[in-house]
Amino acid sequence: MSLKKQFVKTKPVCKVTFSIDAKDADSAAVVGDFNNWNVEEGALSKLKNGTFKATYDLVKDAIYEFKYVIDGIYVNDPEADFYKWNDYAGSENSVLVV
């Protein structure tokens, strides 16, 4: 799993690339505060090497909770900036600071 942040100097956004290695998976998505936890909006494209990947423009100076959904299973990113407990889900969410 990997998070890559690229700040845009001319706009108040950060291009964040989410990628996750899931060779045996049929589908993967990233869901979070930035897309209303919507699996369809967070669909990741599968590359030939088995990695799922997508880049999103996120507003700078913000904190986002997120998770990956791999074949319907919610998974945290081990490279997240930190983790935050979510009472609704009964588990921790990954947190991204941009």
CATH code, 38 = 2.60.40.10
- What's the rounded mean pLDDT across residues 11-24? 95
pLDDT at 1: 59
| pTM of the predicted structure, to 2 decimals | 0.92
The pLDDT, as a whole number, for residue 65 is 96
Please report, as a single letter, which amino acid is at residue 62.
A
Task: Domain of residue 35: give its range.
Answer: 2-97
User: Which residues touch 90 (CB under 8 Å, ≥6 apart)?
Assistant: none
Query: Which residue is listed with tokens 């969410």?
Result: 93
Residue 32 CA to residue 92 CA, distance in Å, equals 13
The number of distinct structural domains making up the chain is 1
